[in-house]
Amino acid sequence: DPKTGIITKGKERMVFNYKRLNDNTEKDQYSLPRINSIIKKVSGSRIYSKFDLKSGFHQ
């Protein structure tokens, strides 16, 4: 069973073991583009957007 409960700091919490799932997941590896190629692609654009993911949870 991949889920179980453990007690930490006097509180019970549910814990999941994703080892079997991770072992069967296909790895998706790709390299990040270089900054020079990104600047080249956006250099003629008129509209730019910015996303602040500093405090995001699922990154």
pTM over 0.85: no
What size, in residues, is the chain?
A: 59
Q: Quick: pLDDT tens for 13-54.
A: 888 888 888 899 988 888 888 999 989 999 989 998 888 877
CA distance 59 to 50: 16
Query: What secondary structure, in 3-state letters, does the chain show?
Result: CCEEEEEECCEEEEEECCHHHHHCCCCCCCCCCCHHHHHHHHCCCCCCCCCCCCCCCCC
Residue with tokens 């008129």: 46
